[in-house]
């Protein structure tokens, strides 16, 4: 439902908010970007609407209404950077056209929140590969902001009475990051504000839902589990597995975590415990372990490897008859355990470990041995300077030459490792060989493919109320199309990650020849901006269109619902590079 002629408001001002477009769902409610006229200008807000028509019975609506109003009123006490501000809440007429609120039956619950201008964590993460130290620090800063605000909400300091605030549906889609790097929790509309609350409504975001959510229970531990899943998403770029056991294994397989000792790994994966009581109470404390792993792991690994080589006892002294050899600096030796692929090391892989103690030789080689010793000492001095330079260089971005040398040395080290790496190593290498292979790139579309059928690409969440199949528009048969036959149900919405890899989208929009109704509205928008295409299509009058998607991160398809809307078809949608 997207129209600038649709409004909502309280009984006293039913047309107060003009709805611009739907931007998501939370539980049984729909989120809209809206605007309100203030002091001669218009200000954006986010409006969350729960219509009585979406519930089963009036009794259910009344019960939800009471909880909604209580929770929304408590949320008005929460004032802090990192938490979206709540402007007002009310029960009023359902969504309507201007001046027509009195002609409709039913009621709506409405929560009005401040609009946060920025990217949600999904789009924010899609712009980063984590191959640089600066991007890793960005991720750590974002997670630490969220950890701090969640600890504050759970502590009871957010409300005058000391009641804990629980978000209840924490996921990347409910975290916005603005241009200044401030992360903000949004969509608190149906959050649970007690320490241990039971509810009949089960709603969640797959992969971020703790096991107890399936029983309708939400506690601070539920938010902590979801926070841990967000951490996995930001570090890997992949959606978290659905079960605690799978998620814990996936985190342990991350290159930054896999090199830690067992105690450190267990502390980090405790946040995915099945029992909420076993999860860490302080997310800020948990983040200290994660930061140490992400920022310091590779350097610590290199240091441990060097220390291990230093600790090897010298070989027994022997006196073989060895012809004198020209003195040369020791060859570069790979570490005993090469760092996982895909993670930029803190110390260069080509750093040379200390040479082995010189073996004793016969007196006949004393002069040559002395010369060799001088040369070895000189070589060691050169190597020492190089090591110091390398250490200092870690505080700055590496030059292209250093990166190339690191890559070469890493390949040499890998070649001397076992020919059959463990499964976790193989998976890590496959996942990090290409920064876009972490799940943010559309499945099945290689870089050399110049055009792709959108119907075979993987959506961000799901196809929602769309189906994919054959359709006929104005007697022409199409083999692949998005089809929305909604009737009076909610809008059909599907989103796809474009990753700024495509230039245009060609498609034909129309009404299926077998539809019982003759019109429908199709909208296509990019990165949350106003629709790049929004047209009313009619039976027998298809519209063929090319939309410019150059530089876009995300594409959204939308078909509006309405009892008079027909079977809408978006046929032959093709992306071109």
> What residue segments make up the domains of the chain, in order of their start?
7-114, 119-298, 335-437, 451-576
Residue pLDDT, tens place only, 396-411: 444 444 444 444 444 4
Residue 290 has pLDDT above 80, yes or no: yes
Query: Which pLDDT score, from 0 to 100, does residue 383 have?
Result: 52
> Roughly what angle, to the nearest 10 degrees, separates helices 283-311 and 220-236?
50
Query: Which pLDDT score, from 0 to 100, does residue 446 have?
Result: 57
Distance (Å, rounded) from C-alpha 171 to C-alpha 121? 8
Residue 160 has pLDDT above 70, yes or no: yes
- The alpha-helical segments, DSSP class H, found in 433-505 are none
Residue pLDDT, tens place only, 455-501: 888 898 888 889 988 889 999 988 789 999 987 777 889 999 999 99
Average pLDDT, the chain: 75
- Considering the four listed CATH numbers 2.60.120.1060, 1.10.150.120, 1.10.3720.10, 3.30.110.70, the one that applies to the domain covering 451-576 is 2.60.120.1060
Residue 196 has pLDDT above 60, yes or no: no
Distance (Å, rounded) from C-alpha 94 to C-alpha 107? 5
Sheet containing 175-177: give its strands across: 119-120, 175-177, 183-185
Please name every residue paired with 358 in a beta bridge, in sequence order, or none if there are none.
none
Q: What is the dihedral of CA 538, 542, 548, 551, to 10 degrees?
A: 70
Prediction pTM value: 0.52
Query: Which pLDDT score, from 0 to 100, does residue 540 have?
Result: 92
Residue 504 CB coordination number (10 Å):
14
Residue 273 CB coordination number (10 Å):
19
Question: φ and ψ at 157, to 5 degrees?
Answer: -75, -10
Query: Which pLDDT score, from 0 to 100, does residue 5 have?
Result: 86
Band of residue 448 on the pLDDT scale cut at 50, 70, 90: low
Residue pLDDT, tens place only, 82-127: 999 889 999 999 999 999 998 888 889 899 999 999 999 999 999 9
Residue pLDDT, tens place only, 227-256: 999 999 999 999 999 899 999 999 999 999
Q: How many residues does the chain have?
A: 577
Asked if residue 274 lies in contact with residue 210, where contact means CB atoms within 8 angstroms, the answer is no
Asked if residue 221 lies in contact with residue 277, where contact means CB atoms within 8 angstroms, the answer is yes
Residue pLDDT, tens place only, 126-146: 999 988 889 999 999 999 999
High-pLDDT (> 90) share of the chain, %: 43
Residue pLDDT, tens place only, 326-337: 444 433 333 333
Residue 313 has pLDDT above 70, yes or no: no
High-pLDDT (> 70) share of the chain, %: 68
Which range (6-20, 204-218, 277-291) has the least confidence?
204-218
Query: Which pLDDT score, from 0 to 100, does residue 214 have?
Result: 82
Residue 41 has pLDDT above 50, yes or no: yes
Distance (Å, rounded) from C-alpha 67 to C-alpha 213? 18
Q: What angle do CA 321, 323, 326 make, to 5 degrees?
A: 140
Residue 7 has pLDDT above 80, yes or no: yes
In CATH, the architecture of 119-298 is Orthogonal Bundle (1.10)
Asked if residue 303 lies in contact with residue 347, where contact means CB atoms within 8 angstroms, the answer is yes
Query: Which pLDDT score, from 0 to 100, does residue 445 have?
Result: 57
pLDDT: which is higher, 204 or 48: 48
- Considering the four listed CATH numbers 3.30.200.20, 3.40.50.720, 3.40.710.10, 3.40.50.150, the one that applies to the domain covering 7-114 is 3.30.200.20
pLDDT: which is higher, 451 or 81: 81
């Amino acid at each position: 439902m997207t129209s600038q002629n649709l409004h909502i408001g309280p009984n006293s001002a039913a047309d107060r908010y003009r709805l611009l477009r739907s931007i998501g769902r939370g539980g049984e409610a729909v989120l809209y970007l809206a605007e309100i006229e203030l002091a001669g200008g218009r200000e954006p807000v986010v409006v969350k609407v729960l219509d009585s028509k979406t519930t089963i019975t009036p009794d259910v609506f009344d019960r939800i209404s009471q909880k909604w109003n209580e929770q929304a009123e408590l949320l008005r006490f929460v004032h802090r950077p990192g938490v979206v501000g709540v402007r007002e809440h009310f029960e009023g007429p359902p969504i309507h056209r201007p001046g027509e609120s009195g002609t409709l039956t039913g009621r709506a619950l409405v929560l009005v929140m401040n609009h946060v201008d920025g990217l949600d964590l999904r789009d924010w993460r899609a712009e980063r590969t984590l191959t640089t130290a600066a991007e890793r620090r960005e991720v750590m800063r974002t997670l630490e902001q969220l950890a701090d605000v969640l600890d504050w909400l759970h502590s009871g300091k957010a409300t005058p009475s000391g009641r804990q605030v629980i978000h209840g549906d924490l996921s990347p889609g409910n975290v916005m990051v603005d241009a200044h790097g401030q992360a903000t929790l949004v969509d608190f509309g149906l959050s649970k504000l007690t320490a241990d609350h039971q509810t009949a409504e089960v709603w969640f975001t797959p992969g971020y839902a703790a096991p107890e959510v399936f029983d309708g229970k939400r506690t601070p531990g539920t938010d902590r589990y979801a926070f841990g899943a967000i951490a996995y998403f930001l570090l890997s770029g992949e959606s978290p597995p659905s079960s605690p056991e799978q998620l814990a294994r996936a985190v342990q397989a991350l290159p930054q975590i896999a090199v830690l000792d067992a105690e450190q790994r267990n502390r980090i994966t405790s946040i995915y415990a099945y029992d909420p009581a076993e999860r860490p109470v302080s997310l800020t404390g948990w983040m200290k372990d994660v930061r140490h792993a992400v920022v310091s792991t590779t350097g610590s690994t290199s240091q441990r490897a060097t220390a291990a080589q230093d600790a090897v006892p010298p070989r027994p002294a022997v006196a073989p008859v060895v012809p004198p050899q020209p003195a040369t600096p020791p060859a570069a030796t790979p570490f005993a355990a090469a760092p996982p692929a895909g993670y930029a090391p803190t110390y260069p892989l080509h750093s040379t470990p200390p040479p082995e103690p010189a073996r004793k030789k016969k007196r006949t080689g004393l002069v040559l041995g002395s010369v060799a010793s001088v040369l070895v000492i000189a070589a060691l001095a050169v190597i020492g300077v190089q090591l110091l330079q390398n250490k200092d260089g870690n505080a700055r971005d590496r030059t292209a030459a250093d990166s190339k040398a690191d890559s070469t040395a890493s390949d040499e080290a890998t070649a001397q490792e076992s020919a059959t790496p463990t499964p976790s190593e193989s998976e890590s290498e496959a996942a990090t060989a290409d920064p876009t292979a972490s799940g943010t790139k559309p499945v099945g579309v290689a870089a050399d493919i110049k055009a792709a059928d959108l119907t075979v690409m993987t959506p961000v969440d799901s196809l929602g109320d769309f189906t994919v199949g054959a359709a006929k528009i104005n007697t022409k048969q199409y083999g692949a199309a998005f089809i929305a036959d909604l009737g009076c149900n909610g809008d059909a919405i599907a989103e796809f990650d474009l990753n700024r890899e495509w230039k245009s989208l060609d498609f034909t929009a129309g009404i299926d020849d077998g539809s019982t109704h003759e019109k429908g509205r199709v909208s296509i928008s990019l990165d949350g901006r106003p629709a790049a295409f929004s047209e009313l299509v009619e039976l027998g009058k298809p519209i063929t269109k090319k939309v410019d998607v150059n530089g876009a991160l995300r594409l959204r398809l939308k078909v509006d619902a309405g009892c008079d809307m027909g079977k809408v078809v978006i046929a032959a949608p093709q992306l071109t590079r």
